[in-house]
C-alpha cells in the first residue's frame, strides 16, 4: 500500500508553523509497512487543494489530508472535498452532540461557527474526534481511500490512533519493512563513515543504511525490506551487534532514545542520584532529564545559578574564585558541581558555566565557550568546549555534552551498568 500526505495551510508555506504532522504520520504508516511516497504542502486554495488530491491519487491508494477544518472562515477543506466527491454538506447529529458536550464541559456557549462543524460531506464516513470539535472524514472512491483530518497535531494524532490506523490495519495488504536506528554521539559524520566502512560495505543488499545527523547526535538507520518480518528482524539485530564492535563507546541508544533518557536509566538502574547546577544552560539540562517519565527516581533537583550571587549563596562558590578566574572557568565549574553535590545530597552532579551569546563574549572567552564539570564522591571530570554557534545551539550542544560527560563517568565507575 502506498500513501501520500497532503498538508493544507498558508501558515505552512509562509513558514509560520513547522509541519510536524507529516513526520508523525509518516512514522506511524511506516510501522504498518505503508510506504509514504510523497508529502505535499499546499495553500488554503480550493484549486490547489483539488489538484494536489488528484495528483496524489495517481500514485497512492491512500491519501491523508490534514488541515483546513477549523471553525473559522479561512478553512475551506470541507467545501473542496464536497466539490471533489460531488456531494453536499449534511448535518451530522452525533457530531453536533459531541461539539455541544465538549464546549459545555469547558463552560463555553455554542455559537454558529461551532454548529457548522457538524456539517459533513454526505459521501464520507465520519470519524469521531475525541480531542476536538472538527470530525475526521473517510472517503473511498475507485479503490483509493481519502482521509481528511484537522491540522491541530494532538487532534490528528487521536484520530489516527483511535480510528484510522486500526481500520487501515484491517484493510491492509502490505509488504514488510523493518527499521532500527542506532544512536551515536561523539564522532563526526565523515569520521564515522570511514570507521564503519568495512561493515557498511558488507551489509546485505536488502538492508539500506542512512546517516541522519542532527545537533544532538548522529542516527544510523538500518532499513530492511522483504517478505518475512522475522528474518528481517534477526538480520538487522545481528548487523547491529557487529556495528557495536566498531563503536563500543559512541553508541548510546536506539530509535527514540535520548541521551538524557538513557543516562537517567543508568542512574535508576544503579540506584544513583543526580543534582544539576546550571549557569549558561539555564535549566535546559534539568528539563532534558525531567521530560522523561520516572525521572523523579534519580533526579533530586537542580539549581539554575544565573547570577553570581546565587552561585555563592546556593552553590557555595567562593567569591575569591569568581574574582580570580571569572564565572566562566574550570575552577567555578568544579565548585558549582561540588556545591550541587553537597546542597542536593546526590551521588553525581553536573555543572555548566559558559557564554551562550549573543553578547558577553571576549577575545579570550568567545561566545560558545563552555566549561562543564561532572563530579561524584570519588572522581571529577572537567572540560572546556567551544561551540561557537547561536544562543539556542550553544545551549543545546552544551546540555548534550554535559549529559554525555556524566554518562561516561557513570559507566567508568559502574561498568556493570553498561
Residues 240-279, interacting with its own copies (CB under 8 A): 276, 278
DSSP secondary structure string, 354-407?
E--SSS---SSS-TTEEEEEEEESS-EEEEEEE--S-HHHHHHHHHHHHHHHHH
**Residue indicated by cell numbers 563500543:** 248
Euclidean distance between CA atoms 62 and 56, whole angstroms: 9
The answer to whether 335 and 321 have CB atoms below 8 angstroms apart is yes
The footprint of its own copies on residues 215-244 (CB under 8 A) is 215, 219, 221, 223
5 pairs with which residues across the strands? 39, 64
Nearer to its own copies, 123 or 300 (CB): 300
State in angstroms the smallest separation of the CB of 10 from its own copies: 6
From residue 140, give the alpha-carbon distance in Å to each of 60, 76, 278, 359. 13, 20, 55, 58
Distances (CA, A) of 110 to 115, 131, 135, 150, 155: 7, 17, 16, 19, 20
Instruction: Confirm or reject binding of residue 50 to its own copies (CB under 8 A).
Output: no
Query: Do residues 218 and 283 touch, judged by C-beta distance below 8 A?
Result: no
- Of 30-38, 120-128, 244-252, 375-383, the window that binds its own copies (rule: CB under 8 A) is 30-38
Contact 208, 223 (CB under 8 A): yes
Contact window for its own copies (CB under 8 A) among 77-85, 205-213, 260-268, 317-325: 205-213
37 binds its own copies (CB under 8 A): yes
Nearer of residues 288 and 411 to its own copies, judged by Cβ: 288
Q: Which is nearer to its own copies, 188 or 379 (CB)?
A: 188
Residues numbered 360-379 forming contacts with its own copies, rule: CB under 8 A: none
Cell of 178: 523493518
* 33, 71, 326, 361: which one binds its own copies (CB under 8 A): 71
- SS3 sequence of 56-111: HHHHCCEEEEECCCCCCCCCCHHHHHHHHCCCCEEECHHHHHHHHHHHHHCCCCCC
Q: Which is nearer to its own copies, 94 or 296 (CB)?
A: 296
Report 374-403 residues binding its own copies (CB under 8 A): 389, 391-393, 395
In the complex with its own copies, which residue's Cβ is closer, 220 or 374? 220
**Nearest to its own copies of 193, 411 (CB atom):** 193
Rounded-to-integer distance, Cα 201 and Cα 74, Å: 52
When asked if residue 341 is in the footprint of its own copies (CB under 8 A), the reply is no
For residues 143 to 182, the per-residue mask of contacts with its own copies, x marking binding by CB under 8 A and - elsewhere, is ---------x-x------------------------x-x-
Residue with smaller CB distance to its own copies, 40 or 162: 40
Restricting to residues 276-335, which ones interact with its own copies according to CB under 8 A?
276, 278, 281-287, 289-291, 293-296, 299-307, 309-310, 313-314
Amino acid at each position: 500500500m502506498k500513501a501520500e500526505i497532503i498538508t493544507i495551510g498558508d501558515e505552512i508555506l509562509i513558514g509560520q508553523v513547522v509541519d510536524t504532522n507529516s513526520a508523525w504520520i509518516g512514522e506511524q504508516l511506516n510501522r504498518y509497512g505503508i510506504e509514504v511516497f510523497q508529502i505535499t504542502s499546499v495553500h488554503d486554495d480550493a484549486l490547489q487543494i483539488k489538484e494536489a488530491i488528484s495528483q496524489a491519487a495517481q500514485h497512492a491508494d491512500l491519501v491523508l489530508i490534514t488541515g483546513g477544518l477549523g471553525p473559522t472562515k479561512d478553512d475551506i477543506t470541507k467545501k473542496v472535498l464536497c466539490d471533489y466527491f460531488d456531494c453536499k454538506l449534511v448535518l451530522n447529529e452525533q457530531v453536533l452532540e459531541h461539539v455541544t458536550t465538549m464546549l459545555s464541559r469547558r463552560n463555553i456557549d455554542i455559537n454558529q461557527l461551532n454548529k457548522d462543524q457538524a456539517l459533513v460531506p454526505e459521501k464520507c464516513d465520519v470519524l469521531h474526534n475525541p480531542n476536538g470539535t472538527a470530525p475526521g472524514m473517510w472517503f473511498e472512491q475507485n479503490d483509493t481511500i481519502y482521509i481528511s483530518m484537522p491540522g491541530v497535531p494532538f487532534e490528528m494524532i487521536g484520530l489516527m490512533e483511535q480510528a484510522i490506523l486500526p481500520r487501515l490495519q484491517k484493510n491492509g495488504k502490505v509488504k514488510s519493512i523493518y527499521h532500527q536506528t542506532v544512536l551515536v554521539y561523539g564522532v563526526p559524520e565523515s569520521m564515522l563513515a570511514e570507521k564503519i566502512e568495512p561493515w557498511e560495505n558488507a551489509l546485505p543488499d536488502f538492508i539500506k543504511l542512512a546517516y541522519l545527523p542532527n545537533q544532538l547526535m548522529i542516527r544510523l538507520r538500518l532499513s530492511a525490506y522483504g517478505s518475512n518480518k522475522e528474518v528481517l528482524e534477526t538480520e538487522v539485530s545481528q548487523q547491529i551487534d557487529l556495528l557495536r564492535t566498531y563503536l563500543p563507546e559512541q553508541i548510546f541508544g536506539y530509535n527514540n532514545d535520548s541521551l538524557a533518557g538513557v543516562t537517567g536509566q543508568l542512574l535508576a538502574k544503579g540506584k544513583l542520584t543526580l543534582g544539576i547546577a546550571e549557569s549558561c544552560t539555564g535549566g535546559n539540562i534539568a528539563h532534558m532529564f525531567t521530560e522523561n517519565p520516572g525521572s523523579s527516581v534519580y533526579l533530586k533537583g537542580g539549581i539554575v545559578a544565573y547570577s553570581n550571587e546565587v552561585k555563592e549563596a546556593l552553590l557555595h562558590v567562593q567569591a575569591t574564585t569568581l574574582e580570580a578566574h571569572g564565572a566562566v572557568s574550570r575552577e567555578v565549574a568544579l565548585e558549582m558541581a561540588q556545591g550541587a553535590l553537597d546542597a542536593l545530597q546526590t551521588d553525581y552532579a553536573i555543572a555548566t558555566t559558559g557564554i551562550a551569546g549573543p553578547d558577553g563574549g571576549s577575545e579570550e572567552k568567545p561566545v560558545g565557550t563552555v566549561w562543564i564539570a561532572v563530579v561524584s564522591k570519588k572522581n571529577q571530570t572537567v572540560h572546556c568546549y567551544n561551540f561557537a554557534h547561536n544562543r539556542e545551539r550553544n545551549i543545546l550542544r552544551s546540555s548534550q555534552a554535559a549529559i554525555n560527560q556524566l554518562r561516561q563517568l557513570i559507566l567508568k565507575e559502574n561498568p556493570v551498568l553498561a
